[in-house]
């Protein structure tokens, strides 16, 4: 791997040319698979924004610009590992087994939204900032105690590093040598707060030093560099050598959510620079084309395949019966206590008088 700009790990430069050590463990088929996953994540993201504007899903947090960071890092996990996502990490969730239908149901406010098949350890999407970090340490500690060889990967943004949960999680993980990888997607903005107002020392990876664990800063728009750095951190954790903090330098190209207007606080020229010069899909596609692994025909064919899959997923989501209010009580306890059962009966009685009450978008 190459080291550039303040210790930033990089394999491909902005023009898709190799400037560092290319990972040897990825076959041509895997390289194409990585790009396809990134492409489909962006296509889903763009479609989801349109669906929200049409009133077919609720508020949505776009991930465009962060595909390499999410796909590259989650690609190295094994099925039994733990993944702790935030509200902007659907690309990682898709990599880990979440279906498009389940993701759409989540954006519609359905109780079944975000649910995976058995065997996948995907933690519920975290809306609250940084709360998932101590929970990831707990899952990793449990894996260490059980000696099951599993690793926890937890995502968070630059804004989360100002929360106490971030510091408590790093400290506890270091003390316990928990098999957890802290993956910070530094996308430069915590809603309208720029990184310069978030921290006095703008290299987030350096914060690891205070807790006695390795910190690595990687070009988050370079999927090959992300893959390699994440792979090393996961393998280190699996060997019992403890946690790693990874800072992936990336950029949120869209709004914070579909309820946000970034033009009110973000310089247009900054956005344009990241979009035109540092786009992660453009960078990786240029590399694949030079290697003879991708073409315009494959680009169009892959996009058409995505549309077919997405159309079917959307149809299935929109045909799913809406959640009923009383069903919320079914997802709290395996064996509900009597007071919860009484509350459920009250809701059922009330809805029978008022008519069916549901939510779904």
Q: Give burial (CB, 10 Å; 0-12/13-18/19+) of 176.
A: middle
Q: Collect all residues with Cβ–Cβ distance below 8 Å to 35 and sequence separation of at least 6.
A: 223, 281, 284, 285, 288, 294
Report how far residue 126's alpha carbon sits from residue 166's, in angstroms, rounded to the nearest whole number. Answer: 14
CA 242 and chain centroid, separation: 22
Report how far residue 186's alpha carbon sits from residue 250's, in angstroms, rounded to the nearest whole number. Answer: 6
- Reply yes or no on whether 87 is catalytic: no
Residue showing tokens 């070009």: 219
CA 212 and chain centroid, separation: 26
Q: Which of 36, 37, 88, 256 is catalytic?
A: 256
Contact (Cβ atoms closer than 8 angstroms) between residue 94 and residue 42: no
Q: Which of 42, 88, 252, 326 is catalytic?
A: 252
- Reply yes or no on whether 285 is catalytic: no
- DSSP string computed for 150-206: --EEEEEEGGGGGSHHHHHHHHHHHHHT--EEEEEEE-SEETTEEGGGT-SS--GGG
Contact (Cβ atoms closer than 8 angstroms) between residue 255 and residue 14: no
Q: What are phi and psi of 154, to 5 degrees?
A: -120, 130
Contact (Cβ atoms closer than 8 angstroms) between residue 183 and residue 177: no
Query: What SS3 class is residue 300?
Result: helix
Q: Which of 50, 265, 331, 342 is catalytic?
A: 265
Q: Give burial (CB, 10 Å; 0-12/13-18/19+) of 300.
A: exposed
- Reply yes or no on whether 201 is catalytic: no
Known catalytic residues are: 252, 256, 265
């Amino acid at each position: 791997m190459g080291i550039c700009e303040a210790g930033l790990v990089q394999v491909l430069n902005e023009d898709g040319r190799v400037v560092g050590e290319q990972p040897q463990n990825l076959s041509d088929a895997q390289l194409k698979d990585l790009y396809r996953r990134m492409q489909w994540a962006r296509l889903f993201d763009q479609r989801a924004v349109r669906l929200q504007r049409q009133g077919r899903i609720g508020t949505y947090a776009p991930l465009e610009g962060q595909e390499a960071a999410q796909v590259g890092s989650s690609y190295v996990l094994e099925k039994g590992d733990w993944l702790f996502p935030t509200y902007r990490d659907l690309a990682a969730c898709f990599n880990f087994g979440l279906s498009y239908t389940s993701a759409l149901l989540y954006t519609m406010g359905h109780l079944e939204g975000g649910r995976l098949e058995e065997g996948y350890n995907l933690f519920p999407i975290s809306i609250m900032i940084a709360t998932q970090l101590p929970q990831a340490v707990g899952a990793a500690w449990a894996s260490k105690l059980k000696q099951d060889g599993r690793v926890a990967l937890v995502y968070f943004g630059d804004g989360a590093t100002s929360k106490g949960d971030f510091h408590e999680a790093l400290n506890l993980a270091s003390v316990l040598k928990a098999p957890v990888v802290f993956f910070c997607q530094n996308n430069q903005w915590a809603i309208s707060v720029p990184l310069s107002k978030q921290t006095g020392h703008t290299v987030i990876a350096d914060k690891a030093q205070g807790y006695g664990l390795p910190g690595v800063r990687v070009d988050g728009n370079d999927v090959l560099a992300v893959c390699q750095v994440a792979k090393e951190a996961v393998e280190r954790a699996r060997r019992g050598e403890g946690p790693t903090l990874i800072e992936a330098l990336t950029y949120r190209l869209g709004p914070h959510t579909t309820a946000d207007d970034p033009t009110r606080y973000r310089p247009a020229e900054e956005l344009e620079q990241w979009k035109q010069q540092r786009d992660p899909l453009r960078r990786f596609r240029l590399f694949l084309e030079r290697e003879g692994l991708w073409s315009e025909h494959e680009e169009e064919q892959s996009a058409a395949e995505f549309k077919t899959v997405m159309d079917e997923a959307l149809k299935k989501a929109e045909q799913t019966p809406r959640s009923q209010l009383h069903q919320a009580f079914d997802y709290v306890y395996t064996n509900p206590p009597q007071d919860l059962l009484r509350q459920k009966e009250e809701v059922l009685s009330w809805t029978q008088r008022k008519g069916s009450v549901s939510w779904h978008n």
